[in-house]
Amino acid sequence: MPKVFQKFSIERIQIIAKEIYLLRFSSAAIAAEARPGQFVMVRPAKFAEPLLPRPFSIHRLQGNRVELLFKVIGQGTRQLAGLKKGDLLEVRGPLGRGYDFSADQNPILVAGGMGVAPLLFLAETWKRSQKKNRKGTLRLFIGARNRDELLGLKEFERTGAEIFAATEDGSYGRKGLVTRLLTSTIKTPSPDQTLYVCGPNPMLKAVRDWAVQKGISCQLSLETRMACGLGACLGCVVARKKETGIAYVNVCQQGPVFEAREVLWDE
């Protein structure tokens, strides 16, 4: 059964950095089903335009409370940013295939800019999985243009993550790109480490190339334009490398998370 839009009242909407907002609503159904790396399609209920909803990763779940973290880019996100507590949202989800992880792995999260959005949900879920089983190590490599855009540090600290931060302007952590910080810190990855990555395409590509060269397992969350989120419009199709050749897949259904070695850009 394709998922339908449901209406939810905004419980909180808060600006947390320039053009970046945290939005909260409650849904027992989404909270019960959602897995880290999945997303929801969202549109404000009160506007006729744009008709199309926009995709956002599930940033955090606390009980039935669902949090989204978004940056204002164009018309859709500007409308969302203008909503107030009590306004209605239309939400479809959770959708897509999220990160594949287990309690036995020691995750290395790599977040670039807004790529932090799905990774807090992953860090908190993984941390909960450790209580009964084992005490593994969670590492976060996080990069942004400047300190203000380095999001969620306190929340990641609470998961016990070992945090490595980089800013392009040097206002916090190591100056430069987070990919350089990653590759200079992890010289020899171990087999129980897996990379979980989300961020802009040049960052994904750099991490993918390094992971393939080092032979470390790596999952990338891809962003494409999406209109339906359901596999119906074919607006999100990308090429994927398979053993049998190249296959074309919908990012909204078979992704947004893919094994790094399967992802092709312009090569």
Ligand X SMILES: Cc1cc2nc3c(=O)[nH]c(=O)nc-3n(C[C@H](O)[C@H](O)[C@H](O)COP(=O)(O)OP(=O)(O)OC[C@H]3O[C@@H](n4cnc5c(N)ncnc54)[C@H](O)[C@@H]3O)c2cc1C
Q: Based on the shown chain and the rule CB under 6 A, indicate whether residue 198 belongs to the binding site for ligand FES.
A: no
Number of H helices, E strands in the chain: 7, 17
Binding footprint of ligand X on the chain (CB under 6 A): 39, 54-57, 69-71, 73-77, 114, 117, 223-226, 256
Q: Based on the shown chain and the rule CB under 6 A, indicate whether residue 234 belongs to the binding site for ligand FES.
A: yes
* Closest by CA position to 56, among listed 242, 221, 254, 239: 221
What is the per-residue DSSP string for 87-141? -EEEEEEEESB-----TTSEEEEEEEGGGGHHHHHHHHHHHHHHTTS-----EEE
Which residue of 227, 239, 259, 262 would you call a contact of ligand FES, by CB under 6 A? Answer: 227
Which residue of 143, 173, 229, 255 would you call a contact of ligand FES, by CB under 6 A? Answer: 229
Q: Based on the shown chain and the rule CB under 6 A, indicate whether residue 228 belongs to the binding site for ligand FES.
A: yes
Smallest distance, ligand FES to C-beta of residue 94, A: 15
Considering CB under 6 A, how many residues would be counted as binding ligand FES?
Answer: 12
Phi then psi dihedrals of residue 264, to 5 deg = -115, 140
Tokens encoding 193: 């480490």
The entry of ligand FES, ligand X, none that residue 77 binds, CB within 5 to 8 Å by partner kind: ligand X
Residues of the shown chain interacting with ligand FES in the complex, contacts defined by CB under 6 A: 226-229, 231-236, 250, 252
